[in-house]
Structure 1
Amino acid sequence: MTRAVVLPRPRPEIEALPRYSTASGVATVRWRASSNESAIAPSPAVAEAIARTGTHGHLYPTPFSDDLVAALAERLSVPAAEVLTGAGSLALLQQVLTAFTGPGTEVVHAWRSYEAYPILIGIAGATAVPVPLDAQHRHDIDAMIAAVTSRTRVVLVCSPNNPTGTELSTAELRHLLDSIPAHVLVVLDEAYREFAAGDVDGVELLRAYPNLVVLRTFSKAFGLAGLRAGYAITHSETAGHLRAAAPPFGLSSVAEAAACAALTETAHTDRIVESVRAGRRHLRAELTARGIETPSSGGNFVWIPVGQRAAALEAACVAHGVSVRAFPGEGVRVTVGERAAEDAVLAALNGLTSDLTARRPD
């Protein structure tokens, strides 16, 4: 008789977590416009730093990435005690939630926003409080303020917002920060800030609001998504608590060396940013010509709000050799920066029925 297999069970809140989804056709398409990666590879100087550091792969990095922290502190004109690094900004967000939330606490965030937010909140044992975006696909700041309760420990803000690309102004963020109790952390996720058109600088805001944590990354404008390097800037006391919640050696020596080199390669970063801005202009103009309205984007992507027709658009794109990121019932996010991929998306649209390209989305 076959013996029944009984496996250990995780905590109930882990079992109930939503799973991070992936785009269709990634393994088979010619172009990937689904993951917000850079279409431009790292510069030769970064590649050389990776190769050089790899020869010392038998040695541990410093526990808290001393060289990169020093370089970032100098670049941002902040004390090194206010800077933390990690394996992407997502790892740093997990440290924030681990250190400052837990069972019985709440985290307020906009929705739709970054898909990983409710997952990380659940892992920390806290309760996610999603606040719907407004009719313009933007954070509803007043509704987020109203959602704060005595149980709120963190308010998450993503600007530019992933996946809609919409941005908040400095005035809107100041209104939020002025309205949030000082004991509540406000986390400003600026993963796409280099592509933004607005005036927001989280580091400047931090000077006036010590309960702010600013998250940034090397994955997007610096083109290092595969190496997983990000950083946070916050008040030195908060940073100390976050270091206590962080595993040592959280950033590999190869990722640290690449990030340090990328900071000096400003022309290369500018090239990546300009390719994205040109791609956004091209794709949005062509979508408008086809009767599809899209929100202005500050990210390296364009949001196509086609509602219930998102899955059909994703399938058509895969058939034309390009993966995109569909959010069923809401829309499709298209990474820009590679003209051939953008044109493949447009060709997919051209082949769909006219009701998909109706001006008013579901």
Structure 2
Amino acid sequence: MTAPRPDAPQAPTPRSTVLAIPAYVPGKPPVDRPGVTSYKLSSNENPFPPLPGVLEAAHEAATHMNRYPDMGSTALYAALAAELRVPGDHLAAATGSVGLLYQVLAAFCDPGDEVVHAWRSFEAYPIAVTASGAVGVPVPLGPGARHDLDAMAAAITDRTKVVVVCTPNNPTGPAVGQAELDAFLAKVPPHVLVVVDEAYLEFVRMADPVDGVATYRRHTNVMLTRTFSKAYGLAGFRVGYAVAPPAIAGALRAVSLPFGVSAVAQAAAIASLAAKAELLERVEQLVVRREHVTATLAAQGWEVPDAQGNFVWFPFPGDPERAVAFAAALDAAGLVGRPFAGDGVRVSVGEAEACERLLGVTAGLVR
């Protein structure tokens, strides 16, 4: 047996990149308070319960839990292909859109390659990038807490492999318009993969919204990531999908976790697509609540960014004490928001009563 080197570690040591991964901070659950209904507004979840047809499909799939799921997601791909009018080999499924991000990095980034993304944006971006051994290039948001696409284009170097555009941007809310996305894509070298993260696509109500499917069809280096967690209310099942040119989609499927998307998740997603009209009616209710919340906040004197997701961003740049105090005021009212240290607090648009209670809190805390 070979003797260990004198300087060898005395226990297994993770890769240095693993030790550098920032912790993901999930939204806190609500705390029960006597006589007060508490609401979780910290995770951008859909507050509506599952539709009966979706619940029945999930229950039926669960009766076969002794069998592995369809690793090829055959029925799900067929349903998505019909819904989006894209070929089935242009699709890749994963455990939520964040699972797709991990697959993108595994498939396209060698250690040291660069990944450009806006910041602040989705908290999982720097985690996934660091875990992959790639190098994150965070580009500060511009005025209005929007993506600064000119600055992101300027940040691309010969080491850049991937650029991520989050629209609407989580946690700040603004979405990118089609014209500005087109102008940005014209500046991106064709060998750089552009990931358009559309987790909140269904909530967008703006002039010149991005048509993701049309955009990917016009480019060989553009892919979309979408999820059933938000508008479709399947956050607990973790199923997302990518739409991409076939070589890119094939690479994502090649590095995917075998049997990663459960049979229950696949069945629920297919049933949700079949119930799309009913689900989008619920989305419209949430959009109406969002517009009511933002209009009332403006009338109260708050300045919040354009909200195009199912959440509102309360910015407190450089004022962490005020952000903590705001989150504490929400907590005292039986509401749980999601504070981001040094930047602000994100509050999901949830139940109607929760929205009214939020506005009661903000009325007493006008900046």
TM-score range, shorter chain: over 0.9
Partners of 1:233 and 1:24 in 2: how far apart?
32
1:348 Cα deviation after fit = 2.5
1:100 Cα deviation after fit = 0.4
User: Paired residue for 1:22?
Assistant: 26
User: Paired residue for 1:328?
Assistant: 341
1:343 Cα deviation after fit = 2.0
Partners of 1:344 and 1:331 in 2: how far apart?
19
1:351 Cα deviation after fit = 4.2
Q: Does 1:52 align with 2:56?
A: no
Deviations 1:199-252 (A, max 9, x none): 212111011111011000000110110011110000001111111111221210
User: Paired residue for 2:263?
Assistant: 253
CA contact 2:42–2:346 (8 Å) conserved in 1:
yes
Q: Does 1:200 align with 2:222?
A: no
User: Paired residue for 1:231?
Assistant: 241
Deviations 1:170-190 (A, max 9, x none): 111111111111110000000
Partners of 2:29 and 2:79 in 1: how far apart?
39
Tell me, what secondary structure is at the counterpart of 2:137? Answer: strand
CA contact 1:167–1:298 (8 Å) conserved in 2:
yes
Tell me, what secondary structure is at the counterpart of 1:194? Answer: helix
1:337 Cα deviation after fit = 3.3
User: Paired residue for 1:286?
Assistant: 296
User: Paired residue for 1:244?
Assistant: 254
User: Paired residue for 2:6?
Assistant: none
Letter in 1 for 2:348: T
Consecutive aligned runs of 4 or more in structure 1 exceeding 6 Å deviation: none
Give unmatched runs, 5+ long, in structure 2.
1-9
1:43 Cα deviation after fit = 0.4
Deviations 1:128-187 (A, max 9, x none): 000000021100011000000000000000001101110111111111111111110000
CA contact 2:40–2:335 (8 Å) conserved in 1:
yes
Give unmatched runs, 5+ long, in structure 1.
1-5
Same amino acid, percent of matched pairs: 49
Partners of 2:233 and 2:11 in 1: how far apart?
41
User: Paired residue for 1:177?
Assistant: 185
How many pairs does the alignment contain?
349
Q: Does 1:139 align with 2:143?
A: no
Q: Does 1:13 align with 2:23?
A: no
Partners of 2:238 and 2:26 in 1: how far apart?
18
How large is the RMSD of aligned CA atoms in angstroms? Answer: 1.4
Tell me, what secondary structure is at the counterpart of 1:162? Answer: coil
User: Paired residue for 2:281?
Assistant: 271
**Matches for 1:148-163 after TM superposition, within 5 Å:** 148-163=156-171
Q: Does 1:317 align with 2:327?
A: no
Deviations 1:25-73 (A, max 9, x none): 6344710111000010110000000111110111111112110001101
Partners of 1:7 and 1:103 in 2: how far apart?
24
Q: TM-score, normalised by structure 1?
A: 0.93
Letter in 2 for 1:26: P
1:306 Cα deviation after fit = 2.9
Q: TM-score, normalised by structure 2?
A: 0.92
Letter in 1 for 2:272: A
Partners of 1:155 and 1:186 in 2: how far apart?
5
Tell me, what secondary structure is at the counterpart of 1:186? Answer: strand
Deviations 1:238-273 (A, max 9, x none): 111111111221210000000000001123212221
Moved more, 328-337 or 34-43: 328-337
User: Paired residue for 1:342?
Assistant: 355
Alignment partner of 2:80 out of 69, 72, 77: 72
User: Paired residue for 1:36?
Assistant: 44
1:23 Cα deviation after fit = 3.7
Q: Go from structure 1 to structure 2 and tell me whether the alpha carbon gap of 1:86 and 1:22 turns closer, same or farther (over 3 Å shift).
A: closer
Partners of 1:337 and 1:273 in 2: how far apart?
11
Letter in 1 for 2:243: I
Partners of 2:217 and 2:277 in 1: how far apart?
29
